[in-house]
């Protein structure tokens, strides 16, 4: 029997005894000691663990917690003869605790489902023999076999075979993806059919699945400002409440001079009500539970949030800044124009000499069009281009700034990323390389606008190309011709000018400085990217811009729920506290129960409200794009 089931049985038994006691009290009217035994039995069954925790915490120096408040309040109720109220209070309190454990368990289940991606074994080929070992025992360069129905244990590249894989646990994408020889595959995905042979590219500790699990396991370590406030608040709030309850129970009889037991019992009863109402359970439980639910909701969609503080920052961010290449565009560069066209082959060959050692997408697109004709000593000028020296010539290949600094006069060009080529400081021509927009980039920008965000693009491309992309996507503002350090300065300027939180979205590979500078850094399409997972605060495991709006929506809803819980809990408690102190609750039948409902009832409502954070509907498709 689970803990929740045991608690439910205890609550039901205690409630049945209490109901029996109330019936006997108002029908048979037994002697008081009989009523005491009946309600004390129900009280002990329902709350023995609360009494034990209160006692042990006192010896550990942790006096002022909710267990202590419940204990002294209910014992005080017994002292003044409110046996039924004391038992009912403990039963209601345990009911609230049961709701809390259920809600936390449901949130944790969402996380636990993700934790199932952890591989326990892998089949590695050694000396031509298949060996089943733990993934941590396999090193880079070894070949593993992944059969149909098995989970990919390590990151690698397929060397033989093809199959369909289910990557929903990693990326949140529901549709399978077909992979074949030479394709990369990440750990945590499930092979749906076929057999693939994978050459391992890294150790288990550095694999995608290990990084994801580490993020998820430590997600609750970073507390949001709202959580820190509640923690500090309850630390000082509880002893103050106890002191005020003592004042309420003791001071009025002393001041009035009426020392009769009847008069004392009235004020002691009000003090007990004061303690019931003032328990900070609703705040202490519901605030972290709300953030935990939001983190769980995000993880189910392939959005990994490193802590509730980043979730709150994302909710508050009014500006979202984007890198362009690989974030809003596919990064699939292709040569679309060579000027002058009649010298196409010669210009591409010169550029290929400079670009042949680079893995940059622009370099790869140039080398794809032409094979370099000779070797060269190549040096990179950060943010400007390359200088290649052969045995006969010096070749410049880069942007206009590189040409200007070397005294090369060249014409302006538009239509994409322009790579100028010069030989021995003489202009030879230029190559225009265009990058294709991602299919849902425009939708993502529209959804962010719908969520009240301003959008900004920071790019190293020239102003003409940046303007074309910004117009196509309806981005509010763009800044072009930015070197990596310029992007950092521009982001800092955006934060200063707006005075609000600014999020930055990049591909996580070359945007680490900007990701670190922003209030919340979001790495998109970061499967297997060390830079993304290490630097970013939020990691989107799918290469899908609309996931940014989904993350923002989850964050906003979570913060709204947390604020609702704080405001409603405090307002109800203040109202009932006033009613209890001035004696209005004394006029209500079972006024003590009304007081505890102000605590436990509000707590249950706050917990149920927090669980809403786990269920966020996607906005995709809900915002219509204008033509």
CATH code, 142: 2.70.150.10
Q: What is the pLDDT of residues 532-553, one digit of tens each?
A: 567 788 888 777 889 899 999 9
Q: Is the pLDDT of residue 70 over 90?
A: no
Per-residue pLDDT at 108 exceeds 60: no
> What pLDDT band is residue 623 in, cutting at 50, 70 and 90?
very low
Q: Residue 627 falls within a domain, yes or no?
A: no
Contact call for residues 148 and 163 (beta carbons, < 8 A): yes
CATH code, domain with 416: 3.40.1110.10
Residue 255 lies in a domain: no
Judged by average pLDDT, the poorest of 130-139, 268-277, 310-319, 373-382 is 268-277
pLDDT band at 319 (very low <50, low <70, confident <90, very high): very high
Least confident segment among 129-138, 281-290, 426-435: 281-290
Q: How confident is the model at residue 197 (pLDDT cuts 50, 70, 90)?
A: very high
Region for 429 from its dihedrals, namely left if φ exceeds 0, alpha if ψ lies in -120 to 50, beta otherwise: left
**Residue 527 domain flag:** no
Peptide bond just before 340 cis, omega within 30 deg:
yes
**Alpha carbon separation from 100 to 93, 302, 458, 601 (Å, rounded):** 11, 26, 45, 12
- Write the pLDDT tens digit of every residue in 224-260: 565 566 556 666 777 787 788 788 888 888 888 888 8
Please report which confidence band the pLDDT of residue 395 belongs to, taking 50, 70 and 90 as the band edges.
very high
Catalytic machinery residues = 323
Cβ pair 421, 431 in contact under 8 A: yes
Whole-angstrom distance, CA of residue 210 vs CA of residue 188? 9
How large is the greatest C-alpha to C-alpha distance in the chain, in angstroms?
Answer: 114
> What number of H helices and E strands is found in the chain?
21, 22
The residue from 201, 217, 233 where one domain ends is 217
Residue 11 lies in a domain: no
Q: Confidence class of residue 477 from pLDDT cuts 50, 70 and 90?
A: very high
Residue 252 counted as domain residue: no
Last residue of a domain, one of 164, 189, 217: 217
In a domain, 135, yes or no: yes
Q: What is the mean pLDDT of residues 493-500?
A: 88
Number of domains the chain contains: 2
- Which contiguous run of DSSP H or E holds residue 259? none
pLDDT single digits (tens) 155-191: 899 999 998 888 766 655 556 778 889 888 888 888 8
Domain that holds residue 162: 122-217
* Mean pLDDT of the residues in the chain: 80
Q: What is the DSSP code string of 131-165? A: EEE-GGG--TT-EEEE-TTPBP-S-EEEEE--EEE
Instruction: Report if residue 518 sits inside a domain.
Output: no
pLDDT over 90 at 437, yes or no: no
SS3 assignment, position 286: helix
Tokens (6 digits) for 272: 């007990």
Among candidate residues 413, 436, 459, the one where a domain is terminated: 436
Which residues are bridge partners to 370 per DSSP? none
Question: CA 497 → CA 489, 491, 492, 500, 502, distances in Å?
Answer: 12, 10, 9, 8, 11
pLDDT class of 625 with cuts at 50, 70, 90: very low
Asked whether the predicted pLDDT for residue 372 surpasses 60, the reply is yes
The stretch 457-463 carries a mean pLDDT of: 83
Count of alpha carbons within 13 angstroms of residue 603, beta-carbon side: 26
**Is residue 562 assigned to a domain?**
no
CA angle 384, 531, 480 (to 5 degrees): 35
Using CB atoms within 10 Å of the CB of residue 604, give its burial: 0 to 12 exposed, 13 to 18 middle, 19+ buried: buried
pLDDT at 588 over 70: no
């Amino acid at each position: 029997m689970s803990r929740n089931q045991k608690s439910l049985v205890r609550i039901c038994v205690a409630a049945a005894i209490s109901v029996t006691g109330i019936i006997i009290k108002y029908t048979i009217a037994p002697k008081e000691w009989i009523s005491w035994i009946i309600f004390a039995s129900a009280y002990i069954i329902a709350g023995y663990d609360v009494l034990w925790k209160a006692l042990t915490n006192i010896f550990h120096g942790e006096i002022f917690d909710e267990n202590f408040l419940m204990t002294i309040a209910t014992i005080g109720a017994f002292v003044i003869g409110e046996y039924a109220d004391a038992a009912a209070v403990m039963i209601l309190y345990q009911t609230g605790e049961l709701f809390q454990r259920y809600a936390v368990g449901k949130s944790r289940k969402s996380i636990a489902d993700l934790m199932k991606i952890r591989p326990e074994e892998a089949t590695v080929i050694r000396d031509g023999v298949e060996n089943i070992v733990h993934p941590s025992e396999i090193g880079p360069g070894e070949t593993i076999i992944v059969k149909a129905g098995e989970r990919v244990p390590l990151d690698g590249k397929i060397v033989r075979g093809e199959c369909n894989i289910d990557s929903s646990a990693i990326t949140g994408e529901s549709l399978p993806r077909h992979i074949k020889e030479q394709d990369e595959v990440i750990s945590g995905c499930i092979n749906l059919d076929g057999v693939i042979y994978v050459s391992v590219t890294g150790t288990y500790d550095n694999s995608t699945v290990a990084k994801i699990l580490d993020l998820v396991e430590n997600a609750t370590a970073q507390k949001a400002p709202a959580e820190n406030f509640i923690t500090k608040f309850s630390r000082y709030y509880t002893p103050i409440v106890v002191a005020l309850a003592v004042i309420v129970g003791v001071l009025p009889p002393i001041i009035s001079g009426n020392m009769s037991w009847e008069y004392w019992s009235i004020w002691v009863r009000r003090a007990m009500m004061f303690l019931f109402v003032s328990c900070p359970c609703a705040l202490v439980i519901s605030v972290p539970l709300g953030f935990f639910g939001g983190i769980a909701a995000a993880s189910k969609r392939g959005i990994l949030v490193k802590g509730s503080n980043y979730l709150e920052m994302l909710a508050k961010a009014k500006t979202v800044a984007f890198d362009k290449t690989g974030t809003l565009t596919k990064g699939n560069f292709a040569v679309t124009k060579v000027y002058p066209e009649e010298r196409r082959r010669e210009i591409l060959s010169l550029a290929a000499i400079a670009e042949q050692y680079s893995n940059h997408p622009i370099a790869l697109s140039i080398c794809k069009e032409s094979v370099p004709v000779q070797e060269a000593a190549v040096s990179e000028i950060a943010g400007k281009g390359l200088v290649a020296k052969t045995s006969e010539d010096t070749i410049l290949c880069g942007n206009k700034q590189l040409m200007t600094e070397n005294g090369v006069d060249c014409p302006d060009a538009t239509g994409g990323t322009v790579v100028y080529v010069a030989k021995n400081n003489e202009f030879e021509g230029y190559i225009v390389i265009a990058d294709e927009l991602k299919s849902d980039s425009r939708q993502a920008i529209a959804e962010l606008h719908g969520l009240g965000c301003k959008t900004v693009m920071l790019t190293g491309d020239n102003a003409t190309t940046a303007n074309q992309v910004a117009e196509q996507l309806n981005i509010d503002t763009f800044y072009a011709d930015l070197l990596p350090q310029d992007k950092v300065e521009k982001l800092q300027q955006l934060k200063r000018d707006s005075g609000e939180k600014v999020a930055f979205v990049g591909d996580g590979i070359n945007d680490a400085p900007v990701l670190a500078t922003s209030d919340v850094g979001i790495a998109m399409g970061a499967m297997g990217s060390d830079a993304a997972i290490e630097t970013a605060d939020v990691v989107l495991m799918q290469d899908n811009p609309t996931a940014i709006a989904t993350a923002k929506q989850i964050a906003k809803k979570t913060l709204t729920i947390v604020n609702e819980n704080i405001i409603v809990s405090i307002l109800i408690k203040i109202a009932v506290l006033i009613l209890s102190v001035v004696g209005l609750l004394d006029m209500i039948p079972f006024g003590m129960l009304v007081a505890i409902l102000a605590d436990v009832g509000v707590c249950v409502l706050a917990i149920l409200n927090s669980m809403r954070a786990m269920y966020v509907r996607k906005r995709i498709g809900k915002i219509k794009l204008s033509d």
